[in-house]
Amino acid sequence: MREILELLESDARLPHETIATMTGLPVAEVEARIAEYEKTGIIRRYKAVVNWDAVQGQHAESVTAFIDVSVAPARGVGFDDVALRISRFDEVRSVYLVSGSHDLRCTVVGSDIRAVSDFVSQKLSTIDRVRSTATHFVLKTHKRDGDVFAEPEPDHRLPVTP
């Protein structure tokens, strides 16, 4: 199970035949397992990792921020109800329960810094039991979802000829 999922996570466009060859399973079994993973929600969706900084003008059209949130836990639900409420906002891309000085870490995208600021002040901070927030704006992305966005180093070795 894990091997198929790891292969799809690294490249969602791998043909079932290639996955079958790599795992040693029959193609029909790979297809059946993937269909089951999709049906049960183990595979949530397929996506592309885009380097928006490389797209002309695109990086200026949105701002990403990590927002750390301190929450007063509630008996019986802990932080889960607040995390679920935060995750329902369109601006929110991810919500994690984390260890450390804050309880939740959210990834938020807005059209500009003002939009993220408005989200924090008008939506996030008004949720019951949210005690404080700390916002960190992304200035440059070097790596996301396992993909490095740096240009490869040129090969400075001398060519060898037979």
Amino acid 17: pLDDT? 94
Domain residue spans in the chain? 2-40, 55-139
- State yes or no: pLDDT of 118 exceeds 90: yes
- State yes or no: pLDDT of 10 exceeds 70: yes
Residue-wise pLDDT for 84-101, tens only, equals 999 999 999 999 999 999
From the list 122, 87, 123, the residue with the least C-alpha distance to 104 is: 87
CATH architecture of 2-40: Orthogonal Bundle (1.10)
Contact 65, 136 (CB under 8 A): yes
From the list 14, 54, 55, 60, the residue with the least C-alpha distance to 34 is: 14
- Rounded to an integer, the average pLDDT of 137-154 is 84
Residue-wise pLDDT for 13-36, tens only, equals 999 999 999 999 999 999 999 999
Amino acid 60: pLDDT? 54
From the list 124, 32, 38, the residue with the least C-alpha distance to 86 is: 124
- Looking at CATH, the fold of the domain delimited by 55-139 is given as Alpha-Beta Plaits (3.30.70)
At which residue do the structure tokens 């991810």 appear?
94
Kindly report the number of other CB atoms within 10 A of residue 10's CB atom.
Answer: 11
Contact 82, 127 (CB under 8 A): yes
* pTM for the structure as a whole: 0.72
Contact 62, 114 (CB under 8 A): no
Q: What is the mean pLDDT of the chain?
A: 90
